[in-house]
Chain A
Amino acid sequence: MRQLAVTDLHKAFGRHAVLTGLSLDVSAGSFTAILGPSGSGKTTLLRLLVGFERPDAGTITIGDRVVDGPGSHVPPERRKIGYVPQEGALFPHLTVEKNVGFGLPARQQRSSRTGELLDAVGLSGMGSRYPHQLSGGQQQRVALARALAIQPEVVLLDEPFTSLDAHMRASVRTDVHAICAKAGTTAILVTHDQDEALSMADRIAVLRDGRIVQYTAPQNLYSRPADPALARFVGDANLVEGQLCGRAAPGMVQTSLGLLPLEPASAAVECAGPVTVLIRPEQLELVSEIASAGAEPGTVSGHVVAYEYYGHDAVVRIRPDGAAPGHEVMVRTVGGPRLAIGTTVKIRARGPVVAWTS
């Protein structure tokens, strides 16, 4: 069932066009991320959805109610959209309990409802504290409880985790996801952090230059991005040149890292010609020296240029033999010894890969 629909939305500030014909459908109960770099129009879209701004053209429908359309504009207070702004924006002069109860009618504010909400976000017993007595993560959870209190049809989360410490971010993300799922609320997360979007969302809409360029599940977005720029935006990417084999070897692409199978859904498998190929660092592996004393088919040799250790894995930058400086490839490795710079290695690529005609 469709919960929120945006059709052909336009918004400009003066001569500066921010949204240029944006359309988006969000189904009920889903967790959708709107991912975009800064300046892509994320905040504007969000402010239009909540009703703080009015679109120049286009319609916004929540449930079966048109909240913005030709000649109609429902003010924010009558939209029933839960809004969790950046850094929480708790009311500093009110206790946690009163913050949570802020949107409830006066007679419900003292009821058990606020207590239930605080339980739900794991903050029972903190109702009498003031916002400045809470940690950043707790403030975010209070802000979420406050938004959920009005039983909104949709909750909008505006980069709510950016102000948190790295170690806290992961746990608060998980909690927020669980709370929204339990409440059965449709949630829309606006973020510029691709890890956040990939780990939390059921579907991700990528916003660029005022429109949605791709709207799909996280796995799809990562493995089959719509274009090379998007490939880079959602994760580390090796973009190499390749040649489609066409009829000679259907569904295969010849690259400097070997002959690789194309994703079945990848376009233009039939034609031959130059293409740009995406190979994620996880699709490359280092082949041990001993096993490959001779020339092993399907491998390319090169030498290590840099080694970045991250604990859970490491990224090795390798310049293949004969490649010009600046054409290094990234290989993600798990475990294994630290490789000294200059070490000669062999790499092997695994498909399937995506390609775009260049």
Chain B
Amino acid sequence: MNELAAPPAPAVRAPVRARRAPRPYGLLVVSALIAGLLAVPLVFLLIESHAAGWSTVAAQIVRPLTGTLLWNTIRLAVVVTVLCAILGTAAAWLVERTDLPGRRLFAVLLVVPLAIPDFVVSFGWSSLFVWVQGFRGAVLVMTLAVYPLVYLPVAASLRAADAGQEEVARSLGVGRMRTFIRITLGQARGAILGGCLLVALVLLAEYGAFEMLGYQTFTTEIFTNLQLPTEVPTSCALALVLVAISLVVLAGEARWRGGGRVARSGPMATRVTPPLRLGRVAKAVSLTGVCALIALAVGLPAGASIYWIAAGGIPSVSNSVSVSMLSAAWHTAAYGVCTGVLDTLLALPLAVLAIRHSGAVRQFLERSTYLVLAMPGVVIALALTYFTEQYLGGAGYQTAPLLVLCYTIMFFPLALVGVKAAIARAPASLDEVARSLGHSRVAAFSRVTLRLAAPGLVAAFCLVFLECVTELTATLILVPTGVQTLATQFWQYQSSLSYAQAAPFALVMIALATLPSIVLGRFFHVSAQAQGSEA
């Protein structure tokens, strides 16, 4: 996960002994509590499976349907991940390392799909083209929807890495193609792998897009089963398999990544290397390719929404949606802000622990939070639902706090990545200086570290907010009674084929998510530049 953002510590050398600082007991206790909260869904999934009886659960796993779902899920995950890796890396390389015309603009546009929910991309395509369905449709839609998860980290790592190494390789007699494979891809390896991990996890967790395309995966099946209270063992069984697959993906990524640390040479690396000049044909082909990618991933879903509004007649649409729209937008934003603030705050202690301290306990706590990544939203929602039913007699189920709790757990790992990157920008030595100047530990932290980390904290907040706005699966399960968010209202209209009513919600969702994604894009850009110029 660390590849998403690795903005550098400023050029102040950390004191050699800092990592041997006395044990931060307070920090450890708080972090342990947070890690415990994050483990709640997994624990309840296991308790629920136990209550249902392990033999019943096992029987549910060993049946032909599981095989079908496994095949569907895995082949889609593999094909889309590979396509995203190729598209995302190629686009990142073109934008960061060549003289492609308009690459500043493309750098922004290529990230926009992050702000478009996968199910809106799916809606755009499947509402216009009948053939977009099943496996074929799922590959197309998901590739266009999630390739930025590879593009963004790879672009950041290429920007930060030393392009001078490519020149050295060429000067040593290595050809252009082999230089690209051995040096450039080598520099971006960690980022590509990390991006692929995110893509695979998103595919395992996606519900809305596949439901629309009629493509059956573990997540859609769990969701269907949830409607039937008698199917508890089945849901548990499927959820366990889904978690197991996610764990395999996580472990695989960690294994592959091992030893892939990229070292930078010293001050020499500050030199700016001119971008690679593309030939005329290569330039034309690349330009067409990037434009086509943006048109298909951004233009088509947005265009489809506008088309449906126009087709429905703008006055009639605006009348029917205006009131529900305001309420839905308000609730969406409110849940997003609450979750963003909560996640950023909760991530702080673990981030400080991870960046400034060492030790087995700290490592265990930090790693344990990544287990959440293996818990798709539907599974977390399911576990929380059971929890309220079993222990609270249904109290709390489908209330705003439970929904925010669910979001908070789901998006904690994202927040942690951002907050860690933010804390890493503020060297511990600055806090020490502040203390020697008469400020208490807390005052030093808030006046120095928090100030320096602020941009990164805002970025972490934006990331979580963005995810909340575009979340559908868990929201459908846990949304408070009588309340609609943009996503659920869109889903309701779309399910009843009221495309003209659904489309405005898609556009507002995109609008609400675009602003934070631009902030994010800027943060990655600036931090990578800072890394490039400091060293």
Please report A residues at the B interface, Cβ cutoff 8 Å. 13, 43-44, 47, 50-54, 75-83, 85-89, 91-93, 102-103, 146-147, 149-150
Interface pair A89/B433, CB less than 8 Å apart: yes
CB distance from B438 to the nearest CB of A (A): 5
Any A CB within 8 A of the CB of B255: no
Any A CB within 8 A of the CB of B306: no
Any A CB within 8 A of the CB of B313: no
Interface pair A82/B451, CB less than 8 Å apart: no
- Name which residue of chain A comes closest to B20, CB basis: A13
Number of interface residues of B (CB under 8 A): 27
> A83-B432, A91-B448, A92-B452 known; A150 and B13 CB under 8 Å?
no
A53 to B10, CA, bound (A): 24
Interface pair B436/A92, CB less than 8 Å apart: no
Interface pair A85/B433, CB less than 8 Å apart: yes
Interface pair B437/A53, CB less than 8 Å apart: no
Instruction: Return 16 A-B CB contacts under 8 Å, by A number.
Output: A13-B17, A13-B20, A50-B436, A75-B435, A75-B441, A77-B438, A83-B432, A83-B437, A87-B11, A88-B12, A92-B452, A93-B451, A102-B434, A102-B437, A150-B437, A150-B438
**Majority secondary structure of chain B interface residues (helix, strand, loop or mixed):** helix
Interface pair B433/A53, CB less than 8 Å apart: no
Interface pair A89/B437, CB less than 8 Å apart: no
Any A CB within 8 A of the CB of B224: no
Interface pair B12/A89, CB less than 8 Å apart: yes
CB distance from B11 to the nearest CB of A (A): 8
A93 to B434, CA, bound (A): 13
Chain A residues lying within 8 Å of B21, measured Cβ to Cβ, are 52-53
> A43-B15, A93-B451 known; A82 and B427 CB under 8 Å?
no
Chain A residues lying within 8 Å of B20, measured Cβ to Cβ, are 13, 53
Any A CB within 8 A of the CB of B440: yes
Interface pair B437/A146, CB less than 8 Å apart: yes
A54 to B433, CA, bound (A): 17
Interface pair A76/B436, CB less than 8 Å apart: yes
CB distance from A161 to the nearest CB of B (A): 14
A327 to B438, CA, bound (A): 55
Chain A residues lying within 8 Å of B22, measured Cβ to Cβ, are 53-54
Interface residues in B136-167 by Cβ distance below 8 A to A read none
- Name which residue of chain B comes closest to A79, CB basis: B436
A146 to B436, CA, bound (A): 11
- Name which residue of chain A comes closest to B435, CB basis: A76
Interface pair A81/B436, CB less than 8 Å apart: yes
Chain A residues lying within 8 Å of B433, measured Cβ to Cβ, are 83, 85, 89, 91, 146
CB distance from A84 to the nearest CB of B (A): 9
Interface pair A78/B438, CB less than 8 Å apart: yes
Interface pair A47/B17, CB less than 8 Å apart: yes
Chain B residues lying within 8 Å of A77, measured Cβ to Cβ, are 435-441, 444
CB distance from B457 to the nearest CB of A (A): 14
Interface pair A83/B17, CB less than 8 Å apart: no
Interface pair B430/A91, CB less than 8 Å apart: yes
Chain B residues lying within 8 Å of A47, measured Cβ to Cβ, are 15, 17
A102 to B427, CA, bound (A): 17
Any A CB within 8 A of the CB of B16: yes
Any A CB within 8 A of the CB of B429: yes
Chain B residues lying within 8 Å of A79, measured Cβ to Cβ, are 436
CB distance from B293 to the nearest CB of A (A): 38
Chain B residues lying within 8 Å of A92, measured Cβ to Cβ, are 10, 452
